[in-house]
């Protein structure tokens, strides 16, 4: 007969300890020097902003015919990650945004200062949506 383990006798880690270790109570903003400027980068998005970021990346690649414009994916993902994590103001002109995203190291700077698990989750969730065709708007 197997021994009976009473759950009360096994030491557990409290929720407050888990939150302290993960830094949940802190804002988790980081000052980053980017060339001669200081930008504030959020290291972790809250769950609702994570979901919205993924959805906006997918929506940003939906073509007028309802298909998926895969050629936009890298650009849209870079712009959305920068705008979601960094407190910066991107220009309004699409060509200017495109140039900033690809001709500078802004995206790489932001990515090197955010939670890598969450960044990978964004990328993999978007990839799964594309692979499964789950990118159509729900009506």
pLDDT of 40: 97
Nearest to 28 by CA among 51, 10, 44: 44
Is residue 9 in some structural domain? Answer: no
Is residue 19 in some structural domain? Answer: no
Is residue 42 in some structural domain? Answer: yes
Is residue 8 in some structural domain? Answer: no
**Range of the structural domain that residue 126 is part of:** 27-132
State the total domains in the chain: 1
Give 121-134 pLDDT, tens digit per residue: 999 999 998 888 77
Is residue 15 in some structural domain? Answer: no
Percentage of the chain lying above the pLDDT 70 cut: 85
Is residue 74 in some structural domain? Answer: yes
Is residue 4 in some structural domain? Answer: no
C-alpha span between 139 and 131 (Å, rounded): 21
pLDDT of 26: 55
């Amino acid at each position: 007969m197997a021994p009976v383990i009473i759950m009360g006798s096994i030491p557990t880690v409290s929720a407050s300890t888990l939150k302290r270790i993960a830094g949940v109570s802190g804002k988790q903003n980081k000052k980053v020097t980017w060339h001669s400027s200081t930008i504030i980068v959020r290291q972790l998005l809250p769950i609702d902003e994570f979901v919205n970021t993924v959805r906006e990346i997918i929506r940003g690649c939906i073509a007028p015919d309802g298909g998926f414009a895969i050629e936009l994916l890298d650009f849209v993902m870079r712009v959305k990650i920068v705008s979601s994590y960094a407190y910066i103001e991107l220009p309004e002109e699409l060509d200017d945004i495109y140039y900033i995203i690809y001709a500078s190291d802004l995206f790489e700077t932001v990515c090197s200062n955010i939670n890598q698990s969450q960044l990978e989750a964004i990328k993999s969730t978007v990839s799964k949506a594309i692979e499964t065709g789950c990118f159509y708007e729900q009506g």
